Amino acid sequence: MKGMIVINREFCKGCLYCVDACPLGVIIVEDKFNEKGYFPAYPGNPEKCTGCAICAQMCPEIAIEVFKEEDE
Ligand code: SF4
Ligand code: SF4
């Protein structure tokens, strides 16, 4: 099973809950501010994502969308 996440960088407030929550280290932090002045989270290691959605459950800004691909 493989997953993919999309993070809305303008919704993100840089709390890093998702970075800490991801068991596989998929999410890292951007080095550029978003419009709110936060360093937003970014899926820097997307190939590791399983689509478990723990990151999205942790996000207080509902900034993370999770997509999941089932293996045949
Ligand atoms: S869906 Fe799971 S594996 Fe993928 S980034 Fe979120 S917490 Fe990590
Ligand atoms: S949990 Fe949400 S608001 Fe916090 S850093 Fe991650 S994407 Fe941004």
How far apart are alpha carbons 14 and 26 in whole angstroms?
15
pLDDT recorded at residue 71? 61
With a 6 A CB cut-off, is 66 part of the ligand 1 pocket? Answer: yes
pLDDT in tens, 11-70: 999 999 999 999 999 999 999 999 999 999 999 999 999 999 999 999 999 999 999 987
pLDDT recorded at residue 22? 98
Ligand 1 closest atom vs CA 43: 5
32: number of CA atoms within 13 Å, CB side?
5
Domains of the chain are: 2-69 (3.30.70.20)
pLDDT recorded at residue 69? 86
Instruction: State in Å: Cα 23 to ligand 2 middle.
Output: 15
